[in-house]
Amino acid sequence: MWTLSTLFLAAFAAATLIPAQSEAVLVGMLLAETNPVWLLLLVATTGNVLGSLVNWAIGWFLQDRMPVRWFPVSADQLARAQGWYAHWGWWTLFGSWLPIVGDPLVLAAGLMREPLWRVVLVVTLAKAGRYIILTWATLQLT
């Protein structure tokens, strides 16, 4: 149980604006073969999606409070971002698995009031897909 909690926390933290590495933890656990692969994928994906929802909630919360002096986005920048998001929309959430830009994409979805159901669906597909590919590659190379 301790190992699964470690994986969950690593995946959760990695999906927030906190820099963390969940992939290394997952690969280590896959190589240790102490838990079923499906369970590791489920725990990592769940933690990572829930961490992303923290970013979405921060964006949702801040949208009504803009401009906030401490937030690094002005009212003009927010208006431009809303126009950009109106053009590209929720499709950008498929990039939520990407390093560096993935977390801000989900935060932007909250700022733009993307519905929770869609965020959960697309982010889950993106994050699960990344972990499945990583798991497949790990198991093929061992």
> pLDDT tens digit string along 19-57?
788 999 999 999 999 999 999 999 999 999 999 999 899
Q: Which amino acid, 48?
A: N
Q: What is the pLDDT of residue 99?
A: 84
CA angle 69, 116, 132 (to 5 degrees): 110
Cα–Cα distances in Å, from 40 out to 19, 22, 122?
Answer: 21, 11, 20
Tokens of 67: 């401009």
Q: What is the pLDDT of residue 76?
A: 72
Q: pTM for the complete prediction?
A: 0.87
User: Which of the residues in the chain have pLDDT under 50?
Assistant: none
Contact call for residues 24 and 55 (beta carbons, < 8 A): no
Q: What is the pLDDT of residue 105?
A: 86
Contact call for residues 128 and 45 (beta carbons, < 8 A): yes
Q: What is the pLDDT of residue 102?
A: 84
The domain ranges of the chain are 2-141
Q: What is the pLDDT of residue 142?
A: 83
